[in-house]
Amino acid sequence: MTDVILQMRGITKTFPGVTALDDVNLTVRRGEIHAVCGENGAGKSTLMKVLSGVYPHGSYSGEIVVDGQPCTFGGIRDSERLGIVIIHQELALCPNLSIAENIFLGNERAPRGLVDWNRTNAEAAELLRRVGLDENPTTPSMDLGVGKQQLVEIAKALSKRVRLLILDEPTAALNDQDSAHLLNLLRGLRDQGITCVIISHKLNEIEAIADSTTILRDGRTIETLDMAADVVTADRIIAGMVGRDLEHRFPEHEPHIGEEVLRIEDWTVHSPTQHGRVVVRGANLSLRRGEIVGLAGLMGAGRTELAMSVFGRSYGTGISGRVFKHGREIQLKSVGDAIAHGIAYATEDRKRYGLVLIDDIKRNVSAAALGKLATRGWIHDNEEYRVAEAYRTGLNIKAPNVSAVTGKLSGGNQQKVVLSKWLFTDADVLILDEPTRGIDVGAKYEIYTIINQMADQGKAVLVISSELPELLGVCDRIYAMSAGRITGQVTRAEATPERLMQYMTTVKEQ
Amino acid sequence: MIGVDPTGPGPAVAVAKQAAAPDRFGGRLFSANLRQNGIYIAFALIIALFAVWTEGDLLAPQNISNLVVQNSYILILAIGMILIIIAGHIDLSAGSVLAVTGAISAVLMVEYDLPWPLAILITLICGGLIGAWQGYWIAYFGIPAFIVTLAGMLVFRALTLAVLGNQGIGPFPDEVRTIANGFMPTYLGNIGLGPLDGADLFTLLIGLAFVAGIVVTQWRARAGRQRYGQSVEPTALFVAKLVLAAVVVMTVIVQLARFKNLPWVLVLLAVLVLAYSLLTDRVVFGRHIYAIGGNLNAATLSGIKVKSVTFWLFVNMGVLASIAGIVFAGRLNQAGPTAGNGFELDAIAAAFIGGAAVQGGVGRVVGAITGGLIMGVINNGMSLIGAPSERVMLFKGLVLLAAVAFDVFAKRRAGAGK
């Protein structure tokens, strides 16, 4: 009998009108890395919130057993006392506080009520060393990138004498390098006897790191795979998650590429916050009719900055360079100009920049082209409903009707609403920034199909993505960016992950 | 943070559990309705409560007329305020702007003896310029509206004192007093029967026309939705709502007809409410206000001219405040240095009682009007039963808190688990 640290038995959790978890079982062995995967809405995060006490005892049914003892957590503090710490998907650091202050937030090194700063900073330095973060503990956490903030979160967990660390999508916002570092760190923690439960959409990571994998689907436990005993491939996990075999992760597509639609020449952008910093330097790029073009790059390479600065100067200062549409130079001084010239930009952060979450589907779909539905400022609301319904059925947005509030939709369906919005502007150049971020496998496939359809309709599509397999699977041609420059360009036939990674890490000197 | 609970009931679950789905959407519909309509239920309850306490005096012909006239300027301010709050801003200067525009109109009409229509026009333009001044700092310079209008509150009060010295200016021309305080004349004589004893026929006809207008537009809107295959409420419920609306409107009209006919300011108010309701519901500009308040970033990236919309919202507020300023001065028959003290807070309270959200993006003109009327009924009802002013304040404060608490509660329940 193996040593079991945690058992969750028959967990059932209902929200008004819906069962999020239905008799879920989870058994985690001591000192292992246990992956939990499933589509969005499968109940992964709910299960972790039950475990960590975010949903207190009594709000669910079932049993949690830690080290053979049944537990009734009334809140996070109870579970933390037992060494169970959860790190949420959205990081919870206070940007204005220092690393050390964040690590000991709520847990201050303060004998007799006064904070002992020497001890705080010394202990923080020690914790930072353990997670391999070479930063001064007094640095404000807003100066850190997402990858480093993630490490601070782990240091914070370590400070609470964590025995069971739960990470919800820890690498979702990280680039490949930072992800690799994080995964290595988790291996190191495992060797120190810390058990990890990791929720992830990135199946290659699960393959690489997990000792066992539990798959949830529609709020039920489907199976637990022992990664050491069996040969478990990504396709095997996907099959469990979606309940069907996914032959291919990417739809087949035969491109029909026509003439050049958009050309960007010598594009340079300066940072609006850091004076004098060049974010994009002399970029040249062209898109053709019916072509799906990828833009690869590590975090901070300047991909989003390039796209947003072209999209009506919605990012950056000191922008120079020229944009040609169908061979004729155009001026894009505002987002309105860009939309009028048939350019659309679907943001990488749909909740913050893409959608009005408190509004319904139809109002979001019409938001960027309301003029098309109005005469002299007067909106035809029935027509608006009809248009939105057409997109809902056409793009398979799962909602009872278009009066459903977008904030309640899953990530994949929200993304489809964003795409609908831009399709409705009749754009012929679509810039899609991380179109499948935080979306489950089944919905990703649908998004890829939509992208292919857009290309077949003669639109030029630029896909910005941090996932190389996605770019390789979807794009006809891929640009790579590094440190603000476009460092290379490959066609679909010649593209390999290694070659792209090489371009993505090239640093050219001025 | 507003967001989606990634663990929450996703569509995958809904599809998998078809049986549970209708119940879930039904429940959501109900809670959404409660959140939207709670305010009207509360209004009805408060009216019923005071009708009983005052032994019916609250609903007496003269008192209903007073209710409208006494609260008109707050309601006018509330219309502008709700738009600003929907966009995620606030205006603390409304009371001072009301005072300074009232003073300007008084100077023009009384001291310079300008014809009253010209004086009113100039006053409205001044109100618009004041709004443009504040709108510039807020929209184009990027100073929070709270600060700009806090400054405005002091500046325009100071200007009022500078214009008026320490005394009031009056009296106003009869026409202006009539707008603020007067009634429509009798055109067709009275009816001399039963419960309509002494009611003005023309007023009753206006009421009937108004009801007919409501029925026809609602009916056509519903038919249009059906033609487009949208779901509509059951016919019985729809008819019941129309009947209820007709009864309420006609009750008020009959009472007014029995007193001195329609107050002119009620006509003005009705026109404003109608126009601004259409603006928010059916006009592109109105839709942009909601988008800006709902998610500023998304609105910007959707090509909405955020700065320009914000600027014009404050211009609009300035014009509405100057209308309120003229009405208020006309009603008192003089422009005084302390006019409008604290009115901005009443207007803000009306907006929030009427269902506006503190974060912006939510709210309706009719809601703000109802919120204003709730406070009006409390003021009026409590003074009828002779309650001391501290108790009125206490009651109003608790109602405001309760209204917002209810909104937060309903929102939390709707977003179960977050």
pLDDT in tens, chain B (418 residues): 333 333 333 333 333 333 333 344 444 445 556 666 778 888 888 999 999 998 888 888 888 888 888 999 999 999 999 999 999 999 999 999 999 999 999 999 999 999 999 999 999 999 999 999 999 999 999 999 999 999 999 999 999 999 998 888 989 999 999 888 888 887 777 776 666 777 788 888 899 999 999 999 999 999 988 888 888 888 888 899 899 989 988 888 888 888 888 899 999 999 999 999 999 989 999 999 999 999 999 999 999 999 999 999 999 999 999 999 999 999 999 999 999 999 999 999 999 999 898 888 999 999 999 999 999 999 999 988 888 989 888 988 998 898 888 877 877 765 533 3
Which three-class secondary structure state does DSSP give residue B345?
helix
Q: How far apart are CA B266 and CA B270, in angstroms?
A: 6
The whole-angstrom separation of Cα A400 and Cα B231 is: 11
Which residues in B lie closer than 8 A to residue A43 (C-beta atoms)? 7
Average pLDDT in the A221-228 region? 85
- With residues binned 3-state (H G I as helix, E B as strand, rest as coil), the percentages for chain B, rounded to 5, are 75, 0, 20
Which among B3, B225, B284 has CB closest to A374?
Answer: B284
- Which strands form A61-66's sheet, in the order they lie side by side? A18-29, A4-15, A61-66, A69-71
Residue with tokens 């003073």: B103
At B277, list the tokens.
């309701």
Q: What is the ipTM of this complex?
A: 0.81
The helix (H) or strand (E) run that includes residue A234 is: helix A234-242
A438 touches chain B (CB under 8 A): yes
Contact yes or no for A63/A258 (Cβ under 8 A): no
| The pLDDT value given to residue B417 | 34
Size of interface A-B (CB pairs under 8 A): 182
Residue of B1, B2, B5, B7 to mutate, testing the A interface (most A Cβ within 10 Å of its Cβ): B7
- List the single range of A146-155, A204-213, B17-26, B359-368 with lowest mean pLDDT: B17-26
Interface of A with B in 461-490 (CB under 8 A): none
Q: Judge whether A86 and A48 are in contact, CB under 8 Å.
A: yes
The pLDDT-based confidence of A242 (bands split at 50, 70, 90) is low
For residue A402, give the 3-state DSSP assignment. coil
**Which of A310, A381, A396, A433 is best to mutate for the B interface (most B CBs within 10 A)?**
A381
Q: Tell whether A354 lies on the interface with B, counting CB pairs under 8 A.
A: yes
Rg (CA), chain B: 23
Q: How many CA atoms lie within 13 A of B177 on its CB side?
A: 9
Q: Structural domain boundaries of chain B?
A: 38-182+263-414
Spatial CA neighbour of A109 closest among A120, A125, A94, A121: A120
List CB contacts (< 8 A) between B225 and chain A. 382, 385
- Classified as helix, coil or strand, B354 is coil
Give the dihedral of Cα atoms A74, A77, A80, A86; nearest 10 deg.
90
* Percentage of chain A exceeding pLDDT 70: 96
Res A439: pLDDT: 79
Q: Which residues pair with A165 in a beta bridge?
A: A85, A196
Q: Which chain A residues are Cβ-neighbours of B13 within 8 angstroms?
A: 18-20, 41, 218-219
User: Which of B3, B15, B417 is opposite residue A398, by nearest beta carbon?
Assistant: B15
Q: Measured between CA atoms, how close is A241 to chain B, in angstroms? A: 12
* Centroid of chain to Cα B55: 28
Residue B412: burial class (beta carbons within 10 Å; 0-12, 13-18, 19+): exposed
Q: What is the pLDDT of residue A506?
A: 74
A440 has a pLDDT exceeding 90: no
Residue pLDDT, tens place only, A250-269: 888 889 999 999 999 999 99
Are A201 and A35 spatial neighbours (Cβ–Cβ below 8 Å)? no
- Residues A84-91: what's their mean pLDDT? 82
The Cβ of residue B335 has, within 10 Å, a number of other Cβ atoms equal to 30
Concatenate the DSSP letters of all residues of B76-105 into one string.
HHHHHHHHHHHTT---S-HHHHHHHHHHHH
Average pLDDT on A361-366 reads: 94
- Map residue A280 onto helix, strand or coil: strand
**Arithmetic mean of pLDDT, A271-298:** 89
Surface-to-core class of residue B6, CB atoms within 10 Å of its CB (0-12 exposed, 13-18 middle, 19+ buried): buried
Token pair in block for residue A168: 């919800």
The pLDDT tens digits of the residues spanning A292-339 come to 999 998 767 889 999 999 999 989 889 999 999 999 999 999 999 999
**Closest by CA position to B104, among listed B174, B156, B52, B63:** B156
Nearest residue of A to residue B223 by CA position?
A382
Task: For A481-498, write each residue's pLDDT tens digit.
Answer: 988 899 999 999 898 877
d(CA B275, CA B287): 14
| Residue in A114, A93, A117 with CA at minimum distance from that of residue A103 | A93
- Spatial CB neighbours of A304, under 8 Å, sequence gap ≥ 6: A315, A348, A433, A464
**What was the pLDDT predicted at A501?**
79
Q: Which residues of A touch B10 (CB under 8 A)?
A: 39-42, 410
Nearest to B338 by CA among B329, B347, B346, B330: B329
Contacts of B229 in chain A (CB under 8 A): 389
Give residue A351's pLDDT: 87
Q: Exposed e or buried b for every residue in B87-106, given b needs 16+ CB within 10 A?
A: bbbbbbbbbbbbbbbbbbbb
Q: Is the pLDDT of residue A40 over 50?
A: yes
Does residue B6 have a cis bond before it (omega within 30 degrees)?
Answer: no
Most confident of A269-283, A388-402, B226-240: A388-402
DSSP 8-class letter at B108? I
Instruction: Look at A379 and B283 and tell me if their CB atoms are within 8 Å.
Output: yes
Q: Residue A20: exposed, middle, or buried by beta-carbon count in 10 A (0-12, 13-18, 19+)? A: buried
Q: In chain A, list all ranges with CATH 3.40.50.300.
A: 4-242, 259-342+428-452+460-510
List alpha helices for B339-388, DSSP H.
Answer: 343-353, 365-384
Residue A510 sits at the chain B interface (C-beta within 8 Å): no
Contact yes or no for A277/A307 (Cβ under 8 A):
no
Region of poorest pLDDT, from A69-73, A407-411, B283-287:
A407-411
Buried b (16+ CB within 10 A) or exposed e, B137-152: bbbeeeeebeebbeeb
Exposure string (b/e) for A59-91, b if CB count within 10 Å is 16 or more?
ebeeebebeeeebebeebebbbebbbbbbbeeb
Asked if A17 and B24 come within 8 Å (Cβ–Cβ), the reply is: yes
Q: Which two tokens stand for residue A319?
A: 């922008």
Q: Does A43 touch chain B (CB under 8 A)?
A: yes
Report chain B residues whose CB lies below 8 A from the CB of A389. Answer: 229
DSSP string, A77-94: HHHHHTTEEEE-SS----
Is residue A442 a contact partner of residue A434, using CB atoms and an 8 Å limit? no
Compute the mean pLDDT over every residue in chain A, rounded to the nearest whole number: 87
Are the CB atoms for A497 and A468 separated by under 8 Å? yes
The domain made up of A4-242 has a fold known as Rossmann fold (3.40.50)
Helix A441-456 / helix A234-242 crossing angle, nearest 10 deg: 100
Nearest Cα residue to A200 out of A211, A191, A213: A213
d(CA A359, CA B294) in angstroms, rounded, equals 7
Q: What is the CATH number of domain A259-342+428-452+460-510?
A: 3.40.50.300
Whether A178 shows a pLDDT value over 90: the answer reads: no
Mean pLDDT, residues A186-210: 87
**Strands, E, within A190-238: which ranges?**
195-199, 212-217, 220-226
What architecture (CATH level 2) is domain B38-182+263-414?
Orthogonal Bundle (1.10)
